[in-house]
Amino acid sequence: MKITKARVIVTCPGRNFVTLKIETDEGVHGIGDATLNGREKAVVAYLEDHVIPLLIGRDPARIEDIWQYLYRGAYWRRGPVTMSAIAAVDTALWDIKGKVAGLPVYELLGGASRDGVMVYGHANGNDIAHTVDEVGRYIEMGYKAVRAQCAIPGVKGTYGVAKGTMYYEPADSALPEETVWNTPAYLNFAPELFEALRIAHGPDIELLHDVHHRLTPIEAARLGKALEPYRLFWMEDATPAENQEAFKLIRQHTVTPLAVGEIFNSIHDCRELIQNQLIDYIRTTVVHAGGITHLRRIADLAALYQVRTGSHGATDLSPACMGAALNFDLWVPNFGIQEYMRHTPETDAVFPHAYSFSDGFMHPGDLPGIGVDIDEELAAKYEYDPKQLPIARLQDGTLWNW
């Protein structure tokens, strides 16, 4: 079998998605997500100008060799653009391999390690009472785990608070929206929120929270300690993690479990965090960390240190990523949880998929491959709409981490 053609499809059914479709001389095709929120066109150009010409004529069965060829062969390694492009190729090749074998990808990886994949949803509100209600709504939908984010009184544009209720989308203007960040207000407020959530919803529901890189290590340590009575499933991205050692300080002070890694692209970005047991959950995902092939390497390293997976699954990761991630999650022995932010009905229609949600758990379905396809005719109706993620400034104007 040979790769005869590969194309990048850009569509915007409510938000932008970049998809790579690889076709073969035997009529089998595969797809992979290549979406990098706010920087979509960089990956499109990388794929079209530098990767697709290298794929034509290759045997799609040789996934590992093609991965190594694109990673080592480029000379320039790692980074979100390169690794998202490699991920798209990798995912499409696993999709093809599954279709050729007549098996879902989880069967190729070694078979199911569990019956379903526990997912967490996103509840958010304009104040504590609203957030308490929203978490309740997710519990009613069947979720066993819910991420809770709440507007901080007096702070404009708090991270994670949706403009609508179901489909939170932060990249919503052509130029970055400017938000304000106030660490002291947040540190005082966050424990109050989780106290109210535990009082209202009891001890059993798993609660998660995303700090979204806003704190310094010592502030993160303080927050982790203050949240201990409310037993979070995890505190995510408490401080930026370019300096992996920074997490030592947080770890010394709190037993609140820590999750990091949605912006990481390679095993090297998280090696120290994992080997020094500075985190509990690694959030790297298929699309931004080199595909199933590389994610498996990260998960295997993590398994040695009892670090579990908790892959990123916001709406900017397309259903093609979700399908691949769910196949991965069903297999991976050291699975922790999977983020699941629902896509809009328009997006679901563009990407017909076999995966399903029931009572807090998801299953990838049993279609051969990743179990997701793209309806190209429908995709063509939604033109690319340039959008960027917001930025954050402190109250004195200092640029901060969004």
Residue 212 sits in the site that holds ligand KDG (CB under 6 A)? yes
Catalytic residue numbers?
159, 212
Q: Name the residue nearer to ligand KDG (CB basis): 79 or 102.
A: 79
Shortest Å, Cβ 262 to ligand KDG: 6
Name the residue nearer to ligand KDG (CB basis): 185 or 389. Answer: 389
Per CB under 6 A, contacts with ligand KDG among 36-95 are 37
Q: Which is nearer to ligand KDG, 134 or 262 (CB)?
A: 262
Q: How far is the CB of 211 from Mg ion (least distance, A)?
A: 9
Q: Are 241 and 214 in contact (CB under 8 A)?
A: no
Under the binding rule (CB under 6 A), the answer on residue 293 touching ligand KDG is no
Q: Which stretch binds Mg ion (CB under 5 A): 102-110, 149-157, 255-263, 388-396?
A: 255-263
For ligand KDG, give the closer residue by CB, 269 or 339. Answer: 339
391 binds ligand KDG (CB under 6 A): no
Closest approach of ligand KDG to the CB of residue 54, in Å? 28
Q: How far is the CB of 90 from Mg ion (least distance, A)?
A: 23
Range 361-394 burial, b when 16+ CB lie within 10 A, else e? bbbbbebbbbbbbbeeeebeebeeeebbebebee
The mark string for 325-344 relative to ligand KDG (x by CB under 6 A, - otherwise) is --------------x-----
CB of 212 to ligand KDG, least distance (A): 6
Q: Among candidates 264, 276, 267, which has minimal Cα distance to 240?
A: 264
Nearer to ligand KDG, 16 or 254 (CB): 16
CB crowding 45-70: b at 16 or more within 10 Å, else e = ebbeeebbebbeebebeebeebbebb
Site residues for ligand KDG, window 153-182 (CB under 6 A)? 170
When the beta carbons of 71 and 281 are compared against Mg ion, the nearer one is 281
Residues from 46 through 85 that contact Mg ion (CB under 5 A): none
Applying CB under 6 A, the span of 53-61, 224-232, 308-316, 323-331 interacting with ligand KDG comes to 308-316
Confirm or reject binding of residue 316 to ligand KDG (CB under 6 A).
Answer: yes
What minimum distance in Å lies between the beta carbon of 104 and ligand KDG?
25
* Residue 210 engages Mg ion in binding (rule: CB under 5 A): yes
Please select the residue that binds ligand KDG; options are 262, 269, 280, 329, rule is CB under 6 A. Answer: 262
Euclidean distance between CA atoms 321 and 32, whole angstroms: 7
Q: How far is the CB of 22 from ligand KDG (least distance, A)?
A: 25
From 4-12, 254-262, 324-332, 350-358, span contacting Mg ion (CB under 5 A):
254-262
- 71/351 with CB nearer ligand KDG: 351
Tokens describing residue 159: 């991270």
Q: For binding to Mg ion (CB under 5 A), which residues are involved? A: 210, 262
Chain residues in the site for ligand KDG (CB under 6 A): 37, 170, 210, 212, 262, 312, 314, 316, 339, 389
